[in-house]
């Protein structure tokens, strides 16, 4: 199969799987991902509509990627921007129909599965190299510009900073601590510390062999 066709398939598949996993993540309701933690904090202190705020923040991140490495912006970036939300809604809706009133143990299982396939999806469209989401671009650009620092470490730091800022902003807004830790829960902690290493694992053992074969990248 032509390598460009493989890359397009991997990009589309990666975004679709990502949307499904985020829908599962939201269904589990055990804490949002690090970037959404930051967005919740900003939303609590900045008096504009969330949709407008989300566009502004992503525009800033898009500008970062365009300045430091515009190769990170491509077809997958725009598929992510325009389709991901609908896929998330569909996935979450299916979970709610199939598993209404899901017990805690089932929600935990859904969360763990969602984290794993979210990392797999990220590895697919990272390796396809036809663009990534604006937030994903930050850790990728950082790790590539600073070749001595692995992507896994850069991603953990980015995620941790987002969680810390999100919690701080929520507390500054006056939100009760109990509500803060309902927004930033176990799912947030798991993704903050394990997404980087898991993405790197899937990148090396699944995504790169899928694109370049078992001999690896030439």
Is pLDDT of 216 > 60? no
Catalogue the E-assigned strands of 2-145.
none
Sequence-distant (≥ 6) Cβ neighbours of residue 18 within 8 angstroms: 80, 84, 87, 118, 121, 122, 125
pLDDT of residue 187: 84
User: What average pLDDT does the structure give for the chain?
Assistant: 84
pLDDT of residue 46: 92
pLDDT of residue 48: 87
What Rg, from alpha-carbon coordinates, does the chain have? 17
Cα dihedral across residues 49, 52, 55, 60: positive or negative: negative
Among residues of the chain, what percentage have pLDDT more than 70?
A: 95
How much is the average pLDDT of 158-185? Answer: 86
Q: Which letter, b or e, does each residue of 17-39 get, where b requires 16 or more Cβ atoms within 10 Å of its Cβ? A: bbbbbbbbbbbbebbbbbbbbbb
The tens digit of pLDDT for each residue in 5-57 reads 888 889 889 889 988 988 898 888 888 778 878 888 898 899 887 777 877 88
Q: How confident is the model at residue 105 (pLDDT cuts 50, 70, 90)?
A: very high
Q: How confident is the model at residue 173 (pLDDT cuts 50, 70, 90)?
A: very high
The tens digit of pLDDT for each residue in 108-162 reads 999 999 989 989 998 998 888 888 788 888 888 888 776 667 877 888 889 889 9
The tens digit of pLDDT for each residue in 30-43 reads 887 788 788 888 98
Residue 164 vs residue 148, higher pLDDT: 164
Tokens read off for 178? 């109990």
Give the integer Cα–Cα distance in Å for 210 and 4.
13
Is pLDDT of 66 > 70? yes
- Surface-to-core class of residue 105, CB atoms within 10 Å of its CB (0-12 exposed, 13-18 middle, 19+ buried): exposed
Q: Please report, for the chain, the start and end positions of each structural domain, with discontinuous segments joined by +.
A: 3-212
pTM of the predicted model, to two decimals? 0.74
Q: Which letter, b or e, does each residue of 48-73 get, where b requires 16 or more Cβ atoms within 10 Å of its Cβ? A: eeeeeeeeebbeebbebbeebeeebb
Query: What is the separation of C-alpha 54 from the centre of its chain, rounded to a whole number of angstroms?
Result: 14
Q: At what angle do helices 134-145 and 104-128 cross, to 10 degrees?
A: 60
* Backbone φ and ψ of 47, nearest 5°: -80, 60
First and final CA of the chain: distance in angstroms?
Answer: 17
Give the integer Cα–Cα distance in Å for 87 and 18.
9
């Amino acid at each position: 199969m032509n390598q460009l066709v493989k890359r397009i398939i991997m990009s589309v598949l990666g975004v679709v799987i990502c949307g499904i996993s985020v829908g599962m993540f939201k269904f589990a309701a055990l804490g949002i991902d690090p970037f959404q933690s930051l967005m919740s904090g900003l939303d609590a202190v900045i008096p504009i509509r969330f949709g407008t705020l989300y566009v502004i923040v992503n525009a800033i991140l898009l500008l970062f990627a365009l300045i430091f490495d515009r190769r990170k912006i491509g077809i997958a970036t725009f598929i992510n921007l325009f389709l991901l939300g609908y896929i998330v809604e569909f996935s979450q809706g299916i979970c709610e129909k199939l598993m209404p009133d899901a017990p805690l143990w089932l929600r935990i299982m859904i969360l763990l599965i969602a984290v794993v396939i979210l990392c797999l999806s990220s590895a697919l469209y990272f390796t396809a190299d036809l663009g990534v989401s604006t937030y994903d671009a930050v850790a990728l650009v950082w790790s590539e510009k600073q070749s001595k620092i692995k992507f896994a470490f850069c991603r953990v730091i980015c995620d941790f900073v987002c969680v810390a800022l999100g919690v701080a902003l929520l507390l500054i807004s006056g939100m009760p601590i109990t509500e803060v830790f309902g927004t930033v829960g176990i799912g947030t902690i798991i993704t903050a510390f394990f997404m980087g290493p898991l993405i790197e694992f899937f990148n090396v053992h699944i995504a790169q062999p899928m694109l370049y074969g078992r001999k690896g990248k030439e």
